Structure 1
Amino acid sequence: MTRTLYLFCSAAPPVFDVAKVIEDAQARGWDVCLGLTPAAARWLEPSLEGLAVLTGHPVRSEYKRPGEPDMWPKADVILFAPATFNSVNAWALGLTSTFVVGVVAEAIGKGIPVVGMPCVNAAYVQHPAFERSVELLRSAGVAMLYGEGGFVPNQPGQGRPDAYPWGLALEAAESAGSGPDT
């Protein structure tokens, strides 16, 4: 049985490794559908056609219009990584102006397992909204990979996109997708 992973990404430097992440997820047996925030779609614009070929599905960054058919199979698990400061806070507040944030917000109510892993610097996490957002999402059942055993912020300007823990994120998605309802 094929399992479907929605891989959602915000505009943070690790997004440039998304093709490798898709290939890794596919090697683990996932059918991957890629969703991007509008900014991430702009960053990856030259690669979007190739990413659609790689996944076998259109890359989405916008809501479909009413009456349009769904372009993707139903998700077994959603992985939102990298999730920026803006995306994490919008998600926690239920501000669904972007497609990916809308889908993960609705997934909580639908009971779809969701894993989130931020990509924020140490200055952003000092803002009181961030910790509240992470805790709110965790209390709603989202597996937020932040802090020990997940993403640990770097100092501003000292990011290491090559060290972003994509493997941890895929392992958490694998775990979330092996529950009794999948």
Structure 2
Amino acid sequence: MSRVLHLLGAAAPPVLHFPVVVASAQARGWTVCVGLTPTAADWLGDELEALAELTGHPVKSRCRRPGERDSWPPADVALLAPATLNSVNSVALGLTPSWPIGYAVEALGRRAPLAVMPCLKDTMAAHPQFDRSVRTLRDAGAHVLLGLGEFVPHASRQAPPYPWETALGALDTM
């Protein structure tokens, strides 16, 4: 029986690689369900149906309606990646502006396994709230993939490839 990954993405360029990331996670033995912020869903608009086919589950970007059943199996782990400055701060502050961010907030409250890999420029990471938010997430039990060997904030014109394989590898130890 495979493990279940809830892959949650915010609107940062690496979200455009979700089809490849899903396939890579599946090759590692994960059953994957995809949740996207509304903007990320818009960016992947043409690929949402293909992602649903690839995963065998609907792509979520909105809350369920009252009385609507959850169509996803329960997660063994959730990964919020890419996580923008807004999404990192929102989760740390308990704000729920979108379905995937609300999911991550709830995961913290349940003490469910949650990994967060930021994706932001060094100038955004220099904002004082970012460090506070990262500390809050770590103190609450989230595995924040930030630092050498994980995600390192970058100058906007010098962005290295997003370390998706590092994120997927970290899930194996959670």
TM-score range, shorter chain: over 0.9
1:170 to 153, 162, 168: 168
Deviations, residues 60-114 of structure 1 (Å, cap 9, x unaligned): 0111111100010001100111100110001100001210011111111222100
**Structure 2 residue aligned with 1:82:** 82
Residue identity in the other structure for 2:88: V
Q: Secondary structure at the match of 1:34?
A: strand
Q: Secondary structure at the match of 1:4?
A: strand
Residue identity in the other structure for 1:19: P
Take 1:79 and 1:166, find their aligned partners in 2: how far apart are those partners?
Answer: 11
Take 2:52 and 2:172, find their aligned partners in 1: how far apart are those partners?
Answer: 22
TM-score, structure 1 normalization:
0.93
Residue identity in the other structure for 2:139: S
Q: Secondary structure at the match of 1:32?
A: strand
**Structure 1 residue aligned with 2:144:** 144
Runs of 4+ in 1 over 4 A off after TM superposition: none
Deviation at 1:131, TM superposition (A): 0.7
Residue identity in the other structure for 1:102: G
**Structure 2 residue aligned with 1:180:** none
The count of corresponding residues between Structure 1 and Structure 2 is 174
Deviation at 1:175, TM superposition (A): 1.1
Take 2:10 and 2:99, find their aligned partners in 1: how far apart are those partners?
Answer: 11
- 5+ residue gaps, structure 2, are none
Question: What is the RMSD of the two structures over their aligned residues, measured on CA atoms?
Answer: 0.9
Deviations, residues 145-180 of structure 1 (Å, cap 9, x unaligned): 0112210011123323xx11101100111111xxxx
Deviation at 1:16, TM superposition (A): 1.1
Residue identity in the other structure for 2:171: A
Mapping for residues 22-101 of structure 1, pairs under 5 Å: 22-101=22-101
Deviation at 1:37, TM superposition (A): 0.7
Q: Secondary structure at the match of 2:151?
A: coil
> Which stretch shifts more, 75-84 or 106-115?
106-115
- 5+ residue gaps, structure 1, are 177-182
Mapping for residues 113-132 of structure 1, pairs under 5 Å: 113-132=113-132
Deviations, residues 16-44 of structure 1 (Å, cap 9, x unaligned): 11111100110111110000011100100
